[in-house]
Amino acid sequence: MINALFHYQFMQNALIGALLASILTGIIGAIIVEKKWIMLSSGIAHSSFGGIGLGYMLNFEPIYGAFLFAIFSSILIPTIDRKTDTGSENLTAMLWSLGMALGIFFIAFTPGYPPDMTSYLFGNILTISFQNIMVMIVVTAIVLTILLSYYNHWKAYLFDHEFAFIIGINTSVMDYVLYFLIAISVVALIKMVGIILIIALLTIPPSIARFYAKSFSRLIIYSMILGFIFSFIGLFISYYYNIPSGATIILVSIIAFVISIFIKKNNQ
């Protein structure tokens, strides 16, 4: 079965996609776990469904519509949160519902037969195209560039928001930048595990890595390694047994999380 990696283009695309996804989940996953922005990230992911539906209705690439809706949500949430007392969690829930409702609405008005939304809702790493890979490469490059260029600023911002503000870091701008990075990352990962399961891929590897990492940089590195291992195992299980890849990757991740809890308890 290893030979399939070298003989079939779709398997090569899937392996590259798994590698890029592990980088994104390692970085963004570690950040949202530390910031406790898990529900916010899930809300942005679900709001992107409206853009996917819009893409089908207007006959353009749905993933670009997903980017549009996700980025719009990432700007809207902190802006309204600062100007009202609604609360980011309430706004996230509203945009979550609105995005899903608009997606269903747009798909209902799509000419012809209703499109198959399975790959967007539940993901399928085996169907990742060259275009999907290019999108992931661009997003990964943006995330890496922004993180590495201001790494010390990000550490201060993530672990002591008030201290970061006192030493002159514009925390408001960093809020918007982080929302933006979350938005583009979750959309880049949609084809791999889907909107429904994406939050698990972003949170499980960092949650396991936190048991062993003693610094933020190690948390990111361990999360990347674990993300790739889970994706790699899930990829081959799904290929061999012809089962949904997104769900398989998540199940592998959850099993690993349960095992890590037992190992952690036994070592205490």
What per-residue confidence (pLDDT) applies to 3?
61
Residue 12 makes CB contacts below 8 A (sequence gap 6+) with 5, 6
Query: Between 231 and 161, where is the model more confident?
Result: 231
pLDDT bracket for residue 5 (50, 70, 90): low
C-alpha neighbours within 13 Å on the C-beta side of residue 75? 5
Mean pLDDT of the chain: 87
Rounded Cα distance between 214 and 12, Å, is 34
pLDDT bracket for residue 74 (50, 70, 90): confident
Rounded Cα distance between 11 and 21, Å, is 15
User: Which residue range is the domain that position 48 belongs to?
Assistant: 4-266
Helices and strands, number each (H, E), in the chain = 14, 0
Nearest residue to 70 (alpha-carbon basis) of 35, 39, 95, 101: 95
Residue owning tokens 């396991």:
208
Query: Between 260 and 171, where is the model more confident?
Result: 260
What per-residue confidence (pLDDT) applies to 175?
85
C-alpha neighbours within 13 Å on the C-beta side of residue 86? 17
> Domains in the chain: how many in total?
1
What per-residue confidence (pLDDT) applies to 228?
93
| CATH classification of the domain holding 250 | 1.10.3470.10
Q: What is the pLDDT of residues 116-153, one digit of tens each?
A: 788 888 888 888 888 889 999 999 999 999 988 888 88
Which range is least confidently modeled, 43-57, 165-179, 249-263? 165-179
First to last CA, the chain: 39
Q: Is the pLDDT confidence value at 1 over 60?
A: no
What per-residue confidence (pLDDT) applies to 216?
87
